[in-house]
């Protein structure tokens, strides 16, 4: 399996975070919200216009801008 970004997952798709391609400030904020390397997450849905995306991580739902989701590298499960 190849690494892809969180924004490329299909709705309902599960993945493990493998890294980030984001500015340090944004990366730190996401890590504080539970999106750390190795965390399992699931893409719940896209908003009607495609932005933001809703992700389930560590038992709670988190809304992310699509640009942020494109900077989160994942390994599909």
From CA 67, how far away is CA 77, in angstroms rounded? Answer: 22
What is the pLDDT at residue 50?
Answer: 80
Vertex 50 angle, CA 49 and 52, to 5°: 105
- The whole-model pTM stands at 0.87
Cis link prior to 52 (omega < 30° from 0)?
A: yes
What is the Rg, in whole angstroms, of the alpha carbon atoms belonging to the chain? 11
Q: What class does CATH assign to 4-76?
A: mainly beta
- Is residue 6 a contact partner of residue 55, using CB atoms and an 8 Å limit? yes
| Interval 30-45 mean pLDDT | 93
| Interval 8-35 mean pLDDT | 93
């Amino acid at each position: 399996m190849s690494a892809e970004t969180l924004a490329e997952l299909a709705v309902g798709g599960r993945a493990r975070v493998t890294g980030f391609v984001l500015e340090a400030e944004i990366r730190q904020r996401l890590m504080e919200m539970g999106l750390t390397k190795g965390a399992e997450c699931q893409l719940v849905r896209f908003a009607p216009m495609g932005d933001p995306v809703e992700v389930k991580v560590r038992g709670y739902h988190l809304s992310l801008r699509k640009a942020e989701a494109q900077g989160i590298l994942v390994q599909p499960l």
